[in-house]
Amino acid sequence: MATSRRVSRVSELIKREVSQMLLSGIKDDRVGTGMVSVTDVDVSGDLQHAKVFVSIYGSDEAREETMAGLKSATGYVRSELGQRVRLRRTPEVIFVEDRSIERGTRVLSLINQLSQDRKPDDAAAEVDQDADDWEQDLVGAEDEDED
């Protein structure tokens, strides 16, 4: 069993190498239909399995084509990793689609929409009321100090 520090180092190394392969190594046209980026790599404790999480920007059809292309290129990616990374055994590579960036963007757009839907007059009136309350408290405190 490898230490957690070694697992994280191997994970980062695999992430870098697979990203490099996506840019120039994989010749499958299906991989190029959507913009692909490696978001994370999860390596098992025995360094035998590696889940490569990829984020794909594009339509649903482009995502499906890209995932099909990545799954067909798994053997090539594993053999290239074996040549580029010095490990006793090359881990088995599994590509998994990561939609966390898409979900985060959707949440941010919903928050922005809610803040825009809020009436600006209500917010201004609320600030004015808070300022009046603060001013009255300040004047009341000065009157007590004079007594």
pLDDT tens digits for range 10-26: 889 999 988 888 888 77
Q: Provide the angle, in degrees to the nearest 10, between the axes of the packed helices 4-20 and 74-84.
A: 120
Residue 142 has pLDDT above 80, yes or no: no
Residues 75, 86: contact at Cβ < 8 Å?
Answer: no
Q: Provide the angle, in degrees to the nearest 10, between the axes of the packed helices 74-84 and 60-72.
A: 60
Residues 52, 14: contact at Cβ < 8 Å?
Answer: yes
Between 96 and 143, residue with greater pLDDT: 96
The encoded tokens of residue 135 equal 């001013």
Model's pTM, two decimal places? 0.69
Residues 9, 72: contact at Cβ < 8 Å?
Answer: no
Report how far residue 99's alpha carbon sits from residue 57's, in angstroms, rounded to the nearest whole number: 10
